[in-house]
Amino acid sequence: MRGRTHPKLKIFLTLGFVSILYSLCYAQNTDSLELELQSADDSLTASIYYQLIRAHEYSNPKKAIHYSRLSLTHPHNQEKSIQARTYINLGKVYKNISEYDSAVKVMLHGIRIAEEIDDHKMMAMGYNSLGVIFKINKEWDNALKYYRLSNEQCVLLEYPMGIGMTLSNIGTIYGARNEMDSAMKYYKQAAQIGEKYDLIDVQATSYNNIGEQYAKLDMEGKALPYFFKTLKCDSITNNLMGSVFTLLNIANSYKVLEDYSKAFEYFEIAKLRAEKVGSKQLMSMYYHGMSDTYERLGKNKEALTNFKLAKQLNDSIFNEEKSLQLVRMQTQYETEKKQLEIENLSQKSNIQQLEIQKKQGLIYWMVFGTLALLAFGILIFLQFKSKQKRKLDRAIIQEQKKGIDAVIHATEEERKRIAKDLHDGVGQQLSGLKLFFSKLKDDLITKKPEMKEQLIEFNQVLDEACTDVRSISHQMMPKTLTEQGLVAAIEDMLNKSLGLSNFEYEFEHYGIKGRFNERIEISIYRICQELINNVIKHSKAEHVSIQLIKNEKHLVLLVEDDGTGFLKKESKDGIGQLNMSSRINTLNGSFSYDSEPGRGTVATIRVPI
């Protein structure tokens, strides 16, 4: 999705543009279609029903549902391809009126028919629509599943536009889950598709999403080039409204970078285009941006002036939406009033029957009320039991977490003690012994030349023992970590583990200034060490990328390789995996893998700071 539209503007466009467009385009056409349906040949009914469903999809969802059901039961519309298309379109209608359970039910039925006949186009459409429904309801895992299925069908159809857009959709799910690195990966793949096939809309959406992801990470310097690419695409497609959003993004980025002259320059260009579009919402966004910029400069008078202008526009938009709502309510009232008059005429001839029905209805409601009260009481009791169980579970988890934390803390303290004892005790003694033996060796060789080889061999063994003690001491508790911090320790570890191997590696860090809490530094270092060991032992990779990023709230470690990858269910119960999960849990962090066989692995660790 091209995530630049302000939420209020989305509501305005939905209520205004969509309803007006459908009213003008289909008000007269639907009447002629309904007349044509009465006398049409059976072979044309499927096409007419489809046109009626699409005509009423937004303007009158109840009619769209009515014609969908008629189409599904018509004897000449039983062809499976027609049934699949109708069920999937019916699901979209239910989605539009927020009846998500019904939408999912009928859409799945349509998808099953499409799968049965290998209708890949309908499968792609249905999967993507299901993904949208689950995304609306914030069911991220299900949304991701169906977006991926839709992408697979687009790949089979060799449909680049669909491939690019579904990759962007997948990216939005990772973005919604704040998994910025994975979101960025899919946005960049979508951008590559757009560039390869010269799909300007896909490029614009992808570039904008990438820019906004960088902006969320406070990396405005990286965001700006992508916003300028988006602006170029808007120019090619003559997307005047889209260009206003892009210009506002550019202006806000310069504002954050404190380059206020450029910020004002792009705000003014955005204003000129917004006035040309005639959008009050866009002008409101412009004034909000100007107000914030003036406030940052300490010009409170200008900031207040622009804020008032933005508020006036917002109030105006609200009043317009309210007027549209009143018109719709009035129309609905008149329609219901006429319907009621018709029903009253019919009811006059059935007064006695209605009286009987009222009495029966009263009895039914009494029974229903009793059952409802009983069900309500049971529900309250079950909720109380569930609440108590959750409370107990939380207490158990908290105690387990404290226990694990204590074990990890004790383990690290013991590592420190052993490392210190090895370095200050055994290490010092071995160093002294080596110095003494070096002097003694020269005297013995002079006196007993025949022992030269034995003495040299013994000296080498002594050197190896000193080296081993230093290595073990460093592994138990790296001196670089305690003295210089996390970045230096990781660089040292990577140099020693990968520097002399066939692996190519790169280590980048952003926003790391000063030291972190000792527990955080030790845990991140140990996890990075375990991940690198896994890459060396299992991945068969050639290149490893390590990134350490600090944003406002989290410290993020990203380890990515180009190895063979794995299925997630294959990596659940390993000792290394359990150790890493335990460390992350004690820090209230998160740990996730993104991997598929043959496509490498990305491990992401987030720790709150």
Among residues 476, 497, 522, the one where a domain terminates is 476
Contact criterion met (CB below 8 Å) for 180 and 216: yes
Say whether both 285 and 378 belong to one domain.
Answer: no
Positive or negative CA dihedral for 212, 218, 224, 226? negative
Query: Which residue in this structure is represented by tokens 């169906």?
Result: 146
Say whether both 467 and 491 belong to one domain.
Answer: no
Question: Does any domain span residue 467?
Answer: yes
Q: Is 60 left (phi over 0), alpha (psi -120 to 50) or beta?
A: beta
Say whether both 463 and 573 belong to one domain.
Answer: no
State the pLDDT at residue 7.
35
Question: Does any domain span residue 67?
Answer: no
Q: What is the pTM of this model?
A: 0.43
- Which H helix or E strand runs over 608? strand 601-608
Q: How many domains does the chain have?
A: 3
> Where residue 593 sits, what CATH number does that domain have?
3.30.565.10
State the pLDDT at residue 432.
65
Domain containing residue 322: 252-335
Cα–Cα distance, 342 to 338 (Å, whole number): 6
Question: Does any domain span residue 344?
Answer: no
Question: Does any domain span residue 438?
Answer: yes
Q: How many residues does the chain have?
A: 609
Question: Does any domain span residue 288?
Answer: yes
> What is the token pair recorded at 165?
């857009």
Mean pLDDT (10-residue bins), the chain, 609 residues = 38 33 43 57 68 74 83 77 86 83 90 91 90 89 92 91 90 89 90 90 90 88 93 89 91 93 94 86 91 93 92 76 47 47 51 65 78 83 80 68 62 64 60 69 76 76 71 68 87 84 87 86 89 86 91 90 74 66 85 82 90
Cα–Cα distance, 427 to 466 (Å, whole number): 7
Within 10 Å of residue 406's Cβ, how many Cβ atoms?
11
Question: Does any domain span residue 118?
Answer: no
Cα–Cα distance, 422 to 468 (Å, whole number): 10
For residue 7, give every residue at least 6 positions away whose Cβ sits within 8 Å of its Cβ, in sequence order, or none.
none
Among residues 335, 366, 399, the one where a domain terminates is 335
**SS3 (DSSP) at 602:** strand
State the pLDDT at residue 76.
67
Query: Which residue in this structure is represented by tokens 């609306």?
Result: 136
Say whether both 470 and 525 belong to one domain.
Answer: no
Question: Does any domain span residue 123?
Answer: no
Q: Is 567 left (phi over 0), alpha (psi -120 to 50) or beta?
A: beta
Say whether both 366 and 458 belong to one domain.
Answer: yes
